[in-house]
Amino acid sequence: MIPRMELYIDTANIDEIREAADLGVLDGVTTNPSLIAREGVDFHSQMAEICEIVSGPVSAEVVSIDHDGMISEADALLKIASNIVIKLPCTVDGLKACKTLSDRGVKVNMTLCFQPLQAMMVAKAGAFLVSPFLGRIDDIGGDGMELIQQIRTIYDNYGYTTKILSASIRHPLHLVQCALVGSDVATVPFKVISQMMKHPLTDSGLAAFLADWNK
């Protein structure tokens, strides 16, 4: 089967998630502690509400920085819904926790990935998703897309099945580039999702068709 590029929304805002889900092509959701804090809501109940709206993978991030703390937070988060994916940072303890959880069959999203060896290590540990942050690399004058390409090549060279989830997407061109290099998933802020079906020539062309039809 030819794989398809999956589209996640990167937000913890319920209205945005509902509106994106209404498009009929939303595959999942990613959240992070900053996005949850922005909503000013209880973390677990917000995740439960999101999981009722979207049946695909919903990433919930731990805030512990040690292995045991990550595992006990993950255990609590996994009780929320069956589509919760545990999001862990690309640190040494995160890697160990990824291995522990993946060995138990838990889906893990390894976040804050900024270099290809982090992606290789988490794939070896059985991560379900790896999240390279391309916008944040661009922000400091680097080339975020180069990282996505490098991870794609490494994963293809060795048949790693971890999905590349391109994150920190800033604009529609990032998404085009992700699709061209074969990113498995992109997680996209609502503002960029809203731009994905827009083109001024579509609007002016449609207006002209309707004007001609009505003559």
What are the start-end ranges of the E strands in 35-116? 58-61, 84-89, 108-113
At a CB cut-off of 8 Å and minimum separation 6, what does 44 contact? 76, 77, 80
By C-beta, is 58 or 157 nearer to ligand E4P?
Answer: 58
Please pick, from the candidates 18, 96, 124, 136, the single residue that binds ligand E4P as defined by CB under 6 A.
Answer: 136
By C-beta, is 68 or 191 nearer to ligand E4P?
Answer: 191
191, 172 in Cβ contact below 8 A? Answer: no
**87 given a catalytic annotation:** yes
What does the alpha-carbon distance between residue 86 and residue 58 come to, in Å, rounded to a whole number? 8
Say whether residue 171 binds ligand E4P (CB under 6 A): no
By C-beta, is 142 or 205 nearer to ligand E4P?
Answer: 142
| Site for ligand E4P, residues 172 to 211, rule: CB under 6 A | 187
Closest approach, Cβ 208 to ligand E4P, in A, equals 37
Say whether residue 32 binds ligand E4P (CB under 6 A): yes
Say whether residue 6 binds ligand E4P (CB under 6 A): no
What are the start-end ranges of the E strands in 133-178? 163-166
114, 133 in Cβ contact below 8 A? Answer: yes
Q: Where are the alpha helices (DSSP H) in 40-133?
A: 43-53, 67-78, 92-103, 116-124
The residue count of the chain comes to 215
Say whether residue 46 binds ligand E4P (CB under 6 A): no
By C-beta, is 38 or 44 nearer to ligand E4P?
Answer: 38
Residue with tokens 């990167």: 10
Q: How many residues bind ligand E4P (CB under 6 A)?
A: 11
Binding interface with ligand E4P (CB under 6 A): 10, 30, 32, 111, 131, 133, 135-136, 167-168, 187
